Amino acid sequence: MDKERIVSSTQEQASSAWVGWLNQIRLNELFEKLSTQKGNLAEAMASMDDAMKSINNLIITNRGGGRGIHGFIAEVAETGLENAKSHLHGGPDVCEWINDNGAVDLRRGNTPIQMKFVQSEYSLKAVSTHLKLYSDFISKNGVYQIPKDYYDTVKRLYGMSQQEASRLTRNGDGPSYSDWKMVQEFFASSNVDINDLEPSEFEYAQVQKNAIGKTMADKRVELQHEDERIRERAYRESRPTFSEGAKASAVAAALEGASTFALSVKRRLSADRHIGDITQKEWIEIAEESGMGLVKGGVRGGATYFMNNFTATPAAVASAMVTASFGMADRAYRFRSGQIDEMVFIEESEMVCLDAAVSAAAGFAGQTLIPIPVVGALVGNIVGTTAYELGKDVLRRNEQSLLSRYAEEQEALAAELADEYTECITHLNRGMARYIDVLGRAFSPDIDVAFMGSVELATFVGVPGREILKNKNDVDDFFLS
């Protein structure tokens, strides 16, 4: 049994199994992320559904009347959308609707929020009114939330110089110089800082009772698009990378280099020969063999990683293909250099491919039967390759026994044929001698001798007796009758 072959095959399958495990880890993580994201999207949509139910109830009860209902709608919509966005990324509820007509409309963690959706003065006057009633609101980390489009305008006017503002002219819904003055006076005369304001997820027009249905539907579509981006990002992160391929090549090179070194050293040891007895020349040979092992391992790791990830080839099969390619290349070189003939090249190439196929099948079966990363492939390869080598030993012994028996039979047959050949030659020589004697008499100058010799020759060569002219009467009868 070729123990070195078993060790080498096991190391090769260990490298391929590790590469396959890396690939499986990435796929498992991707499947887990996609499965989790499916639940996240469901929770986000549920949050939007709950918000829409509450909004419909507000519209039915007309809470706040014609001038105030949009404020309550904004509170519910803001809560539902913020929580939906959090759920979409796997987070918990982040916003709570207080719903008590008090100083706080929403609460985001420890941050109290007062929403002001008032059309006049970009909601800033409503902020001042609230702050007069609850002067400690900001000191308690409170934040005022105003419509998104209002906040963008306020922030723009807040950071604008008077010279720039003087060029503003009211054009449609655009801000004017008087709007700039109002904003500047608001921040100068109040204790409100620009950072005490934050934009809502919605614009003022979007939370009106005749527009909120479409607004929430549009927000649902935005959430679905964000979900698609999250899934796409998860897929991109799960794809094979050059750095991971380089890592696989490095590990495979280290494994194969180490196993080659160990086998090279062991090959030069015996019961009465230790490591200290290895000569300098042998150490150079060991280094060369180990270096070649490193190269082969690096190529094996890189090729296996590439085929396993980009051509859907199982890692065990990919490694076997690399092994067979190395073996074929070696035989082809030896054949071209005249070291082996065509028949040996074909036979050894067949055995190389068969060995690689057995190793791949055993590793694949082991990984299937023992679903433990790497371990299953190693156990399968060891068992399969060992059984294969034992089978080859048994077949080799049977073959040798058969060949020995066949050689003995051929030898006995040759001796028997030699005796028969000798006897045949002797008989042939005697027949030839008699034939020449008879032939000589048949062509004798003496006519009587020649006539009798002709009769004897005809009888010798097998002419029927009734057709032979044996005397003068037979001759006369033949020619005259």
Hey, CA dihedral for 454, 456, 460, 463, is it positive or negative? positive
- Residue 270 in any domain: the answer is yes
- Residue 409 in any domain: the answer is no
Residues 276 and 138 in one domain: no
Contact indicator for 18, 368 with CB cutoff of 8 Å: no
Residue 389 burial (CB count, 10 A): 18
Residues 348 and 363 in one domain: yes
| Residues 327-357 pLDDT 10s | 677 677 777 887 877 777 777 777 766 666 6
Residues 278 and 326 in one domain: yes
Distance CA 245, CA 239 (A): 11
Higher pLDDT, 36 or 12: 36
Residues 371 and 252 in one domain: yes
Residues 50 and 90 in one domain: yes
Angle, helices 3-61 vs 315-336, to 10°: value is 140
How does residue 473 score in pLDDT terms, banded at 50, 70 and 90? confident
- Residue 410 in any domain: the answer is no
Residues 387 and 256 in one domain: yes
Higher pLDDT, 239 or 77: 77
Listed in sequence order, the residues at least 6 apart from 226 whose beta carbon sits closer than 8 Å to its beta carbon are: 85, 88
Helices within 198-279 (DSSP H only): 212-238, 242-267
User: Among residues 210, 235, 260, which one ends one of the domains?
Assistant: 235
Residues 254 and 354 in one domain: yes
- Residue 110 in any domain: the answer is yes
Residues 424 and 312 in one domain: no
Residues in a beta bridge with 96: 107
Look at residue 90 and tell me whether its pLDDT is greater than 90. Answer: yes
Residues 202 and 300 in one domain: no
Mean pLDDT along residues 210-224: 95
| Residues 100-136 pLDDT 10s | 888 999 999 999 999 999 999 999 999 999 999 999 9
Residues 386 and 430 in one domain: no
- Residue 122 in any domain: the answer is yes
How does residue 71 score in pLDDT terms, banded at 50, 70 and 90? very high
User: Among residues 185, 213, 235, which one ends one of the domains?
Assistant: 235
Nearest to 80 by CA among 207, 238, 245, 189: 207
Range of the domain at 381: 239-402
Tally of domains within the chain: 3
Nearest to 364 by CA among 351, 383, 349, 350: 383
Residues 265 and 190 in one domain: no
Distance CA 109, CA 341 (A): 82
- Residue 38 in any domain: the answer is yes
User: Among residues 374, 402, 430, which one ends one of the domains?
Assistant: 402
Residues 170 and 184 in one domain: yes
Token pair for 188: 């100068």
Look at residue 307 and tell me whether its pLDDT is greater than 60. Answer: yes
| Residues 145-171 pLDDT 10s | 999 999 999 999 999 999 999 888 766
Listed in sequence order, the residues at least 6 apart from 21 whose beta carbon sits closer than 8 Å to its beta carbon are: 373, 374
**pLDDT of 1:** 44
- Residue 412 in any domain: the answer is no
Q: % helix / strand / coil in the chain, to the nearest 5?
A: 75, 5, 20
Question: Is-above-0.75 flag for pTM?
Answer: no
- Residue 414 in any domain: the answer is no
